[in-house]
Amino acid sequence: MKQEDRISVIKGIGEKTETGMAKLGIFKVGDLLEHYPRNYDVYGEIKEIEALEEGETAVIEVAVANLPQRKKVRNLQMIQCWVSDYSGRLLVTWFNMPFLQNKIRMGNHYLFRGKVIRKNGMLGMDQPVILSKEEYVNQKDVLQPVYALTAGITNNMVKKAMSIAIKETLLDKDYLPAEIRKECNLIEEKSALRKIHFPNHLEELMEARKRIVFDEFFLFTLALNYLKKQKEQKSSNFKMLSTEACEELMKRLPFSLTEAQRKVWETIRNELQGDSQMNRLVQGDVGSGKTIVAELALLMTAKNGFQGCIMVPTEVLAKQHFQSLSQDLNGFGVRIVLLIGSMTAKEKREVYSCIKNHEADVIVGTHALIQETVEYACLGLVVTDEQHRFGVKQREALFNKGLEPHILVMSATPIPRTLALILYGDLDVSTIDQLPKNRLAIKNCVVATDYREKAYRFIEEQVKAGHQAYVICPMVEESEVMDAENVIEYTEKLQSVMPSYQISFLHGKMKAKEKNQLMEQFSKGEIQVLVATTVVEVGVNVPNATVMMIENAERFGLAQLHQLRGRVGRGGFQSYCIFVNGSQSKESKKRLEVLNSSNDGFVIAKEDLKLRGPGDLFGIRQSGMVEFKMADVYQDAEILLKANEIAKRFTEDEVKLLCKKYEGIRSKLQLYTSDLFL
Ligand code: ADP
Ligand code: MG
């Protein structure tokens, strides 16, 4: 089979599996091969029930003690049964696997492998895999790939399909010539593919990972360097004049800009007035006030008779920006429209026509802004907020919507300057390195789970005082469906503890419309406590919220925790962040201590790297840069530098790419950039 073939060519993949795989973004054999494991584990020894610990994944050998019961909780099918060994008993639960009811027999012995959880004070096991004795014995010490899954797709299904695909796919010759592989100490592409999915031991895995990370960085930096070269010294098609309106807007704000905001704004203003097209990245920690800088730039653009748009990664954020822009720019004669995926076709058509006929000056939206159907009358400025969530491709797509508009990119990801210069190679970088003066430092605490009751009382007090709180729910690794279930259950529990307040939940499985509505209610103060998954991570701004409580904080990356914490402390009120540590391990304690002792994103990123060290393969990904499936900008910084060095050789001397030897690289680059330049 070939990489371009549909996955249905793989034996065992029928229509149903194909649909499921599509949800994971896997359509072709090549997509499957690039569906890298998100982790690995080893089965290890069989454990006694008595010795199980909450949070661990373990194999148990048990007898089924009762007839499996079928239950329905909301729209989830559950199968439950009690199992026991001589040391104790345990409740086992499967979700959405009704067929197990007839498969699991009372009195029979089984090997189960799954995560030990605590429910209503008792230990249990959710969604265990059933292993045959033979499977277990053969695989006991082998590194098992763990894949991202979705409803209807099990890890075993992916494993089976993968093993066939790896054996039977005809791969092209390695695109990297031996000379580069040798210089960078890289194994062959083909071998990396096998070893990343089915490593025989840790060393193989490390080699494979290194090669794949290199490829990701190399192609990325190659494309970026190439882009930069094309863009160099473009003259401005949208040369602007300064406008009173911006001064007026600043006067009207209830605060004055920080020194850092003012400086960055001045740079941007000068560039918009200058002769060259602007390409600028504004970095600034969460809460440093990046939005207002974008608003000023958009106002200036509109006042100069051009259109400006701002693209954000989520609908919730788009709505929020739309509202604050509408408020702040009210009375300036600027027409603002919102464009998001969940609008009706009719609503969208109206907005499209406004954009095309220049009846809209500022357009706020999500990816919907780069749909083919959107035509801009005269797009002079493109802003992307929370840029790390977008790829270069999306940025380029938006750029191509106009006649080389000015580009302003905003990001809160704290990336060291040397790396930022590479990753944002086509952009100039400014930093807002100061928080607004009215801010009180967030007070942090790291606590164990038995502190929960106290935390609830504390939240109640804050709510009584008129404030609001977020509770981030424990993550369930297995699936989004179960995450949702978890959030709903947690909300019910919390509601019974705090019956007199409005508590609602928000999770990724909800419809965009529902999410938007809830966030709106929360920002209006109609909801006091919002229980959520990490969907609130990015950009959400409700300054009245003063408590952030994060359950299972040990399961998140530090950078992500920092982003989550950034949802509070956005106004003048004292705010608090409670990290609930659900693990006993010393390491998670140490990691969380970093957050406890600093509120500075850069410091946290640095400390995190130190703690994890370069050998940590399974470190939680930090950057969330969409371009990379495997690479982690922090952890793999050295590989990034090397990849960039090699990439530069090709862009500095373009003739080089024409050599026969580098044919493979040339066609990879073309593939990588084809959607940019078509
Ligand atoms: P971020 O940089 O995380 O995007 P925002 O732009 O959303 O931050 O700003 C966070 C909050 O701080 C907003 O409520 C905003 O109105 C407020 N803010 C921005 N600049 C200042 C300032 N100079 N002084 C006081 N508050 C400010
Ligand atoms: Mg923001």
Q: C-alpha dihedral over 560, 631, 612, 288, to 10 degrees?
A: -30
- Of 216, 172, 176, 211, nearest to 191 by C-alpha is 211
Residue nearest to atom 24 of ligand 1 (CA): 436
Any atom of ligand 1 within 6 Å of the Cβ of 287: yes
What's the CA dihedral at 594, 599, 603, 606 to 10 degrees?
50
d(CA 468, CA 571): 12
Distance 290 CA to ligand 2 centre (A): 6
Domain annotation covers residue 35:
no
Q: Are residues 406 and 449 in the same domain?
A: no
CB 426 within 8 A of CB 228: yes
Q: How far apart are the first and last CA of the chain?
A: 29
C-beta 570 within 6 A of ligand 1: yes
HSE toward the beta carbon, residue 373, CA cutoff 13 A: 12
For residue 122, being part of any structural domain is answered with yes
Nearest to 96 by CA among 506, 488, 484, 489: 484
Q: Last residue of a domain, which of 141, 169, 188?
A: 141
Two structure tokens written together for 313: 């990664």
Residue 386: partners with Cβ closer than 8 Å, 6 or more residues away? 312, 313, 317, 410, 411, 412, 538, 539
Q: Is 608 part of any domain?
A: no
Specify whether 450 is located in the same domain as 592.
Answer: yes
Q: Separation of 570 CA from ligand 1 center, angstroms?
A: 7
Can you list the residues of the chain whose pLDDT is less than 70?
Answer: 231-232, 414, 475-485, 537, 539, 612-627, 674-678
pLDDT in the model for residue 264: 97
Ligand 1 proximity of 569 Cβ (cutoff 6 Å): no
Last residue of a domain, one of 411, 430, 454: 411
**Tokens standing for residue 510:** 């909800």
User: Does residue 624 form part of some domain?
Assistant: no
The beta-carbon contacts of 319-324 under 8 Å, at least 24 apart in sequence, are 319/516, 319/519, 319/520, 320/519, 320/523, 320/539, 320/540, 320/541, 321/291, 321/364, 321/385, 322/364, 324/291, 324/295, 324/541
Rounded distance between C-alpha atoms, residue 657 and residue 211, angstroms: 21
Sign of CA dihedral 166, 167, 169, 174: positive
Q: Which of 576, 598, 620 delimits the end of a domain? A: 598
Place of tokens 């749909």: 371
What pLDDT is stored for residue 678 in this prediction?
41
Q: Are residues 449 and 407 in the same domain?
A: no
- Closest by alpha carbon to 509, among 539, 549, 479, 530? 479
Distance 568 CA to ligand 1 centre (A): 12
User: Could you give the angle at the alpha carbon of 634 between the alpha carbons of 633 and 638, nearest 5°?
Assistant: 80
* HSE toward the beta carbon, residue 246, CA cutoff 13 A: 23
Does the model's pTM come out above 0.85? no
**Which ligand is located closest to the Cα atom of residue 432?**
1
The pLDDT of residue 340 is 94
Regarding whether 332 and 374 lie in a shared domain, the answer is yes
Distances (CA, A) of 90 to 52, 78, 122, 124: 10, 16, 8, 5
Q: Is residue 295 part of a domain?
A: yes
> CB of 431 closer than 6 A to ligand 1?
no
In a domain, 192, yes or no: no
Which residue's CA lies nearest to atom 15 of ligand 1? Answer: 289
The finding on whether 418 has its CB within 6 A of some atom of ligand 1 is: no
Kindly state whether residue 13 falls inside one of the protein's structural domains: no
Q: What is the CATH number of the domain that holds 305?
A: 3.40.50.300
Best residue for ligand 1 mutational test, from 541, 544, 599 (most atoms within 8 Å of Cβ): 541
Element holding 309 (H helix, E strand): strand 307-311
Q: Are residues 466 and 542 in the same domain?
A: yes
Q: Are strands 122-131 and 109-119 parallel, antiparallel or unpaired?
A: antiparallel
Same domain, 330 and 474: no
Give the model's pLDDT for residue 481.
59
CB of 288 sitting under 6 A from ligand 1: yes
Per-residue pLDDT, 27: 94
List the beta bridge partners of residue 628: none
Whether residue 477 sits in one domain with residue 561: yes
Question: What residue numbers bound the domain in which 471 lies?
Answer: 443-598
* Whether residues 318 and 448 fall in one domain: no
Indicate the top mutation candidate among 291, 323, 434, 439 to test ligand 1's pocket, ranked by most ligand atoms within 8 A of CB: 291
- 15, 179 Cβ separation under 8 angstroms: no
> Count of domains in the chain?
3
Question: Same structural domain for residues 403 and 260?
Answer: yes
The torsion angles phi and psi of 60, rounded to 5 degrees, stand at -125, 150
Residue 54 lies in a domain: yes
Written as six digits, the tokens of 96 are 């959405």
Torsion of CA 408, 409, 415, 420, to 10 degrees: -60
Q: Does residue 570 share a domain with residue 484? A: yes
pLDDT digits (tens, 9 = 90+) for 554-596: 888 887 888 899 999 988 899 999 999 988 777 788 889 988 8
436 lines ligand 1 (CB under 6 A): yes
Task: Choose among 659, 660, 655, 657: nearest CA to 672.
Answer: 657
3-state SS, one letter per residue, for 29-83: HHHHHCCCCCEEECCCCEECHHHCCCCCEEEEEEEECCCCEEEEECCEEEEEEEE
Same domain flag for 266 and 391: yes
Same domain, 384 and 449: no
What is the distance in A from the centroid of ligand 1 to the CA of 437?
10
